[in-house]
Structure 1
Amino acid sequence: MPEGPAWSLEPKWDGWRCLVHTSTRRVWSRHGTDLSRAFSDIGTAAAVLPDAVLDGELVAVLADGSGVAFDRLQSRAGSRGPRRGADFTVQVAVFDVLAVGDVDWRPRPYDERRAELLRILDGGPASLRPVPATNSVEEALAWVGALSGVEGLVGKPIRSRYVDGLRSGWVKWRQRHTTEAVVIGVTGTTPAAQALVLGRPYGGRMRAVGVSLPVGEHLRRALAPLLRTAGDWRELPGTVGGLPGADPVRYLPVEPVVVVEIEVDQERLEFGRYRHRPRVRRLRGDLSPDLLDEES
């Protein structure tokens, strides 16, 4: 991560990116989906703020104080707002302002937008709060794990304007965890695109939990003599590959006997799979599938 007075370091929250227009109570996803009905409580809370368009992250905070649960946000999809008896509330970790009234703030440098954001949110509702910021890597890293729901950090040049996509100049760092999985299949039409279908034991059987990132040549060569095909080509839902709404994943099944160490960005499975594609780090010849704990 970059460090120094030219950068702002902020926590990366485990939630849904969103835009909030305070005066119209409208909420959109990063892809332009209208979430206003599903998160009507956020729109109502935002209405007390000055007229502005805010950029942030929708976060589901568990009522028992145990932390943040990404999967709870999905329970709002297609609904008309919060449900009675729900075990969580939704908040927005706000980190930017795109417009104030009729004025477009995107061309202004980030440090000016940050100051305006703090002004807008000062004394506002508890469900829309600014993210903390620092230029110290040591202080920022202390947030990861200490603040519930923080999965990494984002570094932003303080003199940069607001632009979309990769042109933003933002630098992201995500905390990683290592665990083990069983190779249950191979997918990909070319060597450079070949990836592994990964499984974990569940209920006495092997369940597919994800599709890895493409495997490097050195690891492919090590795996090749160990894998034995176990039938004809099959398909997995796109969601198993961490790609909601994606086409099915076509793969060649192999005998589930090889264990690999993988790098993931979440300690536990979500809806029975890893949300993002794991990276395979190495073979674990010292482990057999029966030594892996069952996933819940």
Structure 2
Amino acid sequence: MVSDEVPVRPPVDVVRPVAAPDVPGEHHWPSGPTRYEIKADGWRAVGAVLEEHRTVLLSRQGTNLAPHFPEILDALRHCPVGTVLDGELCAVVEGGRMDFDALASRRGRDRRSWPPVVFVVFDLLATTGQDLRPRPLQERLERLGALLPPPPTPLQPVLATTSRAEALAWYEALRPNGVEGLVAKGLGTPYIPGRAGWVKIRHTLTVDAPIVAIAGPAARPTHVTVRLADGTEAETNQLATAQRPAVGRAVAGALGTPLPGGRRRVNAEVIAEVAVGTTRHRTLRFVRLREDLLPFYDR
């Protein structure tokens, strides 16, 4: 049953902040002050409450994450019908640190290996009968604060400030806790994918690139070749021992005919995060497999 109570129905095209080299000033946006949020290292997701309090949790590609994050679904049921939240799923490991790689275990059937998770919420896109995306961020945040259930809950507001000095202190101090940088937003800006102008500042400048070939054993590749944004293909450094099985599982069943140099073509959409060197002889360092951008099936 479709009703006017749910004006925004996932999947939703989310805002994707663009990389910036520096943290913008407190009055960078003419429409209002700057809000600085920590950039949690997790999987982007949209959670929503549909008619009859049916809950959904989707990746930014629209993949259904609900079976693998049941505690987030349970927490969402405390929100009003029509609620749509934008946030980041984060695994919390020993010492309260957020661990991106630990989220991959949520693909497995054995729940005993699943790490605790939280849904770090940073925006409210809709509530009962109202699409809030055209409204200023400040208004959406005020309504989000009134909507989130009280603790203890896995739905947690993102740590944020309007002080650039405080944000810079977090940028350095929270790195060991799994915070990979900052996101800066204008408090007067609407939620318009691709047009909000929000920026992200990360400790390591990386890009996402599709893996087009592997080298080495199929189950434990030693190197990967990726296609960069300019269309060129380049091989990364040697993968760490711990990285090889995950890449092997991701490309299983998708390897094509052999290529020169002992490589094999990958005929599937598998994304790697790589750091691109800036020297005259461009180098690529494999950072990690983007597990959150893979089809969500048991591995």
Q: Where on the TM-score scale, by shorter chain, does this alignment land: which range?
A: 0.5 to 0.7
Q: TM-score, normalised by structure 1?
A: 0.63
The verdict on how the C-alpha distance between 1:122 and 1:141 changes in structure 2, with shifts beyond 3 A counting, is farther
Equivalent residues of 1:53, 1:98 under 8 A apart: yes
- Residues 1:96 and 2:127 are matched in the alignment: no
Letter in 1 for 2:198: W
Aligned length: 219
CA distance in 1, matches of 2:226, 2:105: 31
**SS, match of residue 118 in structure 1:** helix
CA deviation after TM superposition for structure 1 residue 126, in Å: 2.7
The verdict on how the C-alpha distance between 1:127 and 1:195 changes in structure 2, with shifts beyond 3 A counting, is same
Larger Rg: 1
Match of 2:101 among 65, 68, 71: 71
CA distance in 2, matches of 1:188, 1:105: 37
Equivalent residues of 2:106, 2:114 under 8 A apart: no
Equivalent residues of 2:97, 2:178 under 8 A apart: yes
Aligned-residue Cα RMSD (Å) equals: 3.5
CA distance in 2, matches of 1:177, 1:106: 29
Equivalent residues of 2:78, 2:149 under 8 A apart: no
Equivalent residues of 2:92, 2:115 under 8 A apart: yes
- Residues 1:196 and 2:223 are matched in the alignment: no
- Structure 2 matches for 1:240-279, cutoff 5 A? 245-246=268-269, 275-279=272-276
Percent identity (aligned): 36
- Structure 2 matches for 1:178-217, cutoff 5 A? 193-200=231-238
Greater RCO (Cα-Cα under 8 Å, separation 6 or more): 2
Letter in 2 for 1:158: L
Letter in 2 for 1:246: E
Letter in 2 for 1:139: E
**SS, match of residue 134 in structure 2:** coil
Equivalent residues of 2:103, 2:115 under 8 A apart: no
CA distance in 2, matches of 1:84, 1:201: 28
- Structure 2 matches for 1:128-143, cutoff 5 A? 128-143=155-170
Q: TM-score, normalised by structure 2?
A: 0.62
- Residues 1:16 and 2:43 are matched in the alignment: yes
**SS, match of residue 85 in structure 1:** helix
CA deviation after TM superposition for structure 1 residue 177, in Å: 7.7
CA distance in 2, matches of 1:106, 1:17: 18
CA deviation after TM superposition for structure 1 residue 140, in Å: 1.2
The answer for unaligned runs of 5 or more in structure 1 is 179-183, 211-230, 239-244, 248-273, 285-296
The verdict on how the C-alpha distance between 1:21 and 1:78 changes in structure 2, with shifts beyond 3 A counting, is farther
